[in-house]
Structure 1
């Protein structure tokens, strides 16, 4: 099922802007539009030729089964007692003493980060950048050719390795399903090839790799791209939790939102189809001090 994702709060956008400014400065220093790295990333597999090893990657640990999660893309704060899994933006620090998942937008530009991308790497229609219809400040990246996927990987790889260097345990890649919003210009094979390359970098850096949403593609993303777990939004609201747990078992972290609960929270908690690791959050993912903040567990 294709649907919109959670809104990113002002704090999340502010983090993105700060990170973008730092990257722009680095770009100017190296004198080119790509940030230079010590070693070139491995090439992205050709679309349709993904052959990922689906066995557990050495040294990579998925989220602890059944641990309570918190999702803090709207801003980092001290997790509540009993929380064992915390998701934060790549510009934030990991949560000390908790299994920490780093958010990376791998298939669309972050808000106000379009300037970090060469013009030919953003998807265009009639000469205009193609925006996500639900998130007009995010532009789809053009994954259509091997050469472009290699260049996207060159940009994203430092972000992935930065998550590892910061101390995160895992990384989640958002917008895997961008091809469904591409007006037919992109396809699943190209995004699957790029996803496989992202997972390879994550595993090489010692990070577990999390599929983000895209329930209908979970079997291929696990078996062909090598994802280790899933971070999902509103699988109870959209009656698709089983599509994830059938593939990843207990390695599913679910975030439900207060403004779209199909039934009482207690009923969702009692439903055996609900993943064991689930949290109820306010839509804007506000910090704990905000009066709108909600973070509930079963």
Structure 2
């Protein structure tokens, strides 16, 4: 009798899969309206979800946001350092977080977990944690094992909040093994990596391209199965928006 009562409750708590047959917009540089054919919208955690869409909350889980340096200066022991200086992802001007020990991973998971709670409270259906491959820019101070161990903590928190969890980048790693529900693949067409994501996630992949020729390639090879969007690198509201 108890099992019959609990089963519907457990099923209702499962995170919702990405909807099929619709497009995605990637709005990390600011919120904007979307055309009717777009059913999936990714926004920064500081922006509200868009009602009546499948909303994905962007959380910078492995690096810092450029405008949040004051916050992280209050947590200096959680920043990855090389020779006493924070290690920077030069492409985006973001400091890497130090996920190199279990204690630091737990401390960071508590901080990122509060942001995840906020995504759920705001009404998002899913969360993507940027950026699983950050360790590759760590000057060899972090390892893939560190990243995967930290990702396990983040995915568990997302699921506790009823959110689907998205693997951001790191082609070739099957994140379903640690509970990821979908993938966000930046420039998988440019690097010919889209297949590594679809082998793990099927059609549960969001493909983001920043160069027109890569966008055309991704559309030609994967546009029938995946939502693919071309965006400007700053992801500005009035910037480039194209779909297959």
**Fold shared per TM-score above 0.5:** yes
The structure-2 alpha-carbon separation of the partners of 1:176 and 1:268, relative to structure 1 and needing over 3 Å to count, comes to closer
Corresponding position: 1:104 with 2:59: yes
CA distance in 2, matches of 1:127, 1:145: 18
Q: Which of 92, 96, 114 is matched with 1:135 structurally?
A: 92
Corresponding position: 1:210 with 2:179: no
- Give the drift of 1:248: 0.2
| Number of the residue aligned with 1:296 | 242
Q: How does 1:151-166 map to 2 (within 5 A)?
A: 151-166=107-122
| Number of the residue aligned with 2:26 | 71
The structure-2 alpha-carbon separation of the partners of 1:183 and 1:274, relative to structure 1 and needing over 3 Å to count, comes to farther
CA contact (8 A) 1:252 1:275 kept: no
Corresponding position: 1:238 with 2:191: yes
RMSD: 1.9
CA contact (8 A) 1:209 1:229 kept: yes
Give the alignment's TM-score, normalised by structure 2: 0.89
CA contact (8 A) 2:218 2:228 kept: no
Deviating runs (4+, > 6 A) in structure 1? Answer: none
Which stretch has the larger CA shift, 175-184 or 197-206? 175-184
CA distance in 1, matches of 2:106, 2:224: 37
| Number of the residue aligned with 2:180 | 227
- Give the drift of 1:102: 0.3
- Give the drift of 1:262: 3.2
1:151-199 Cα offsets, whole Å, 9 max, x none, are: 1011111100100000000000002112111112111111111101100
User: Gapped runs of 5+ residues in structure 1?
Assistant: 1-55
CA contact (8 A) 1:232 1:254 kept: yes
The structure-2 alpha-carbon separation of the partners of 1:65 and 1:109, relative to structure 1 and needing over 3 Å to count, comes to same
- Give the drift of 1:256: 1.4
Bigger RCO (CA 8 Å, 6+ sep):
1
CA contact (8 A) 2:215 2:229 kept: no
| Number of the residue aligned with 1:169 | 125
CA contact (8 A) 2:209 2:228 kept: yes
- Give the drift of 1:269: 2.4
CA distance in 1, matches of 2:183, 2:141: 26
CA contact (8 A) 2:212 2:230 kept: no
CA contact (8 A) 1:99 1:169 kept: yes
Q: Which of 188, 213, 221 is matched with 2:144 structurally?
A: 188
Which secondary structure does the structure 2 equivalent of 1:177 belong to? Answer: helix
Give the alignment's TM-score, normalised by structure 1: 0.74
Aligned length: 232
CA distance in 1, matches of 2:34, 2:215: 24
CA distance in 1, matches of 2:219, 2:76: 46
1:214-260 Cα offsets, whole Å, 9 max, x none, are: 1122x1x221x210000111111211110000000000011112xx2
| Number of the residue aligned with 1:271 | 221
Which secondary structure does the structure 1 equivalent of 2:167 belong to? Answer: strand
